[in-house]
Structure 1
Amino acid sequence: MTPLDYEFLRKFLKERSGLDLSADKQYLVESRLIPLARKSGLPGIAELVAKIKSGAEALMSEVVEAMTTNETFFFRDKIPFDHLRETIFPALVQARAGRRSLRIWCAASSTGQEPYSIAMCVKQFTGLSGWRVEIVATDLSQEVLEKSKAGIYSQFEVQRGLPIQMLVKHFTQIGELWQLNADIRGMVQHRQLNLLQDFSHLGTFDVIFCRNVLIYFDQDTKVGIFDRLARLLDTDGVLLLGAAESVVGITDAFKPYPEKRGLYRLNADRGRSGMTPTLKAVASAR
């Protein structure tokens, strides 16, 4: 791969997906895109780049799919799901007693392990029995969303983080594979979404999971996403980030939950420290 081809791909991927590749990640691009080039009947990266420049939209999507990291597993990092059961659900059950409904968004849902882990937590939490709980799962990749919709996982995938009791209770074995039961799959709505674009049409949420995706974006992109997330979170809602992610030094739209790692809430003081006019209006409307 020539330096010019790599710079083109870096810019293309950042514009399309927000992926911010450093100058030393050429090996990663080659390892993922050379197989794609061959699958597409192209000799190498140079021809792949030429095809992208010619406007081959389907190939552009395949390039983004190939470069998007979709590493995930059930109940990943464990602590966020403990927070969900022990802190978030009890508080929201009390606060939403009048309407008996919750909306939860997984902003980078990948192949479905995270939204389905949330769905199993909802089923397990007796205080939510009879409530309407809507879980919206979004991802940039249509391919991983299709896998998520099917809810079919290998033995290796269900062994990663999933307690055996939940496997027996919520899955049906199909040969060497396992499929989530229809009641759990039916709790999750799937939508393709690019976090770089406007997502206000999704509506307001009580809980937003945006974990292990912001680490791939540059500072300015993170600021914009945090601002837009703030507009969609209810005034007493909760944002959950990945273990390696934080709002500190990036945005004042959120502040950390006391003594709860990875949990954030809206910063009520932001109006005095530079909240944008649009965000002020949304906050006031609530």
Structure 2
Amino acid sequence: MTEIEFEALRTFLKARSGLALSPDKRYLVESRLAPVCTRFKVENLSRLIWEIKSGRSPALENATIEAMTTNETFFFRDKAPFDLFQDVLLPKFLKERAASRRLRIWCAAASTGQEPYSLAMLLKEAAARMPGWQVEIIATDISIEVLEKAKAGIYNQFEVQRGLPIRLLVKYFRQMGDQWQIAAEIRSMVDFRYLNLIEDFGRLGQFDIVYCRNVLIYFDTAMKSNVLRRVAQLMAADGALVLGASETILGISDALSLDPAYRGLYTKALPAGAPHRTALAGTR
């Protein structure tokens, strides 16, 4: 793969997925795309890039994007964002949505489903406090392959041992040989959909809570700003956004404000002259 070919691949990935691949990631390209070459019977990376540029194979293009997308996830990953949901966000919205009894949650970049299923299990655990509530969890990802795995809800022993409390494993999973499938009652709580974050997602509607963790780190500043602006537009006036621990809006977006009490928690920025809004942390 020549420098020109590598630059062509970088341009393609950014245009199609927003992925900003740095010049020092050539080794990553070679390791991740070699299996794609084998699968599509393409003799080498140079030929693969030529095929992509020709536009003759949408399947090859999609496979290339999926191969270069990081799908690292596990149940209750990083723990703090789920404690935040259970201890702060859910009590807040149970109180503030008591009249409508409706709650909408969006998990962007949901990968193989562990994040939205973790939230679904927490909601199931809180069911006694939510009689008559209508809760929607929309989970999206750019990879059709990982979405199919997420919908099936089948995980191997290693995957269920990463972050999942044994109590919830026993309660909400059934063993299938050396694999585990999450219960149908939990799977039915999550609506998995294909979505590319660089494209319009206004059709998803308004959300009370948005989890968009560990995806902005793969975008350049301009794309981060664009995505955050559009996410903010979909948030309810008192809605909440949860980003990854290493992500920030500082110098990137003025559409959102950091909640000072919780790392990674953001609310919609107030219009000029609007009265001060109490931080989410103060609603407990």
What's the TM-score, normalizing by structure 2?
Answer: 0.94
The question of 1:167 aligning with 2:176 is answered no
- Matched with 2:9 is 9
Deviations 1:102-149 (A, max 9, x none): 000001100000000000111112422431110000000111000000
Q: Which amino acid aligns with 1:34?
A: A
Which residue of the partner structure matches residue 146 of structure 2?
144
For the aligned residues, what is the CA RMSD?
A: 1.2
Residue deviations 1:69-93 (CA, integer Å, cap 9, x gap): 0000000000010010111011111
Post-superposition offset of 1:38:
2.1
Query: Hey, what does 2:76 align to over in structure 1?
Result: 75
* Matching residue of 2:45: 45
Which runs of 5 or more residues in structure 2 are unaligned? 275-284
- Give the match for residue 35 of structure 1: 35
Equivalent position to 2:181, from 179, 182, 190: 179
Q: 1:23 aligned to 2:19?
A: no
Deviation per CA, 1:123-177: give whole Å up to 9, x if none.
1124224311100000001110000000000000000000000000000000000
Deviation readout 1:19-58 (Å, 9 max, x if unpaired): 1011111110011112211221111011101111221111
Query: For the residues of structure 2 that align with 1:143 and 1:43, how far apart are their CA atoms?
Result: 23
TM-score (norm 1): 0.93
Indicate the larger mover: 33-42 or 147-156.
33-42
SS in structure 1 of the partner of residue 198 of structure 2: coil
- SS in structure 2 of the partner of residue 72 of structure 1: coil
Does residue 90 in structure 1 map to residue 91 in structure 2?
yes
1:131 aligns with 2:145: no
Matches within 5 A, 1:205-220: 205-220=207-222
Map 1:229-240 → 2, pairs under 5 A: 229-240=231-242
Distance in structure 2 (CA, Å) of the matches to 1:171 and 1:130: 25
Give the gaps of 5 or more residues in structure 1: 274-286
The aligned counterpart of 1:281 is: none
- Tell me if structure 2 keeps the 8 A contact 1:123–1:129: no
Greater Cα shift, 175-184 or 245-254: 245-254
Q: Which residue of 2 aligns with 1:257?
A: 259
2:101 match:
100
Q: Supply the distance in 2 between the matched residues of 1:143 and 1:128 (Cα, whole angstroms).
A: 34
Q: Secondary structure at the match of 2:237?
A: strand
Q: 1:210-242: per-residue Cα shift (whole Å, max 9, x none)?
A: 000000000000111011001100001100000
Q: Could you list the structure 1 runs, at least 4 aligned residues long, displaced by more than 4 angstroms after superposition.
A: none
Is the deviation greater in 129-138 or in 115-124?
A: 129-138
Q: Distance in 2 between matches of 1:12 and 1:188?
A: 31
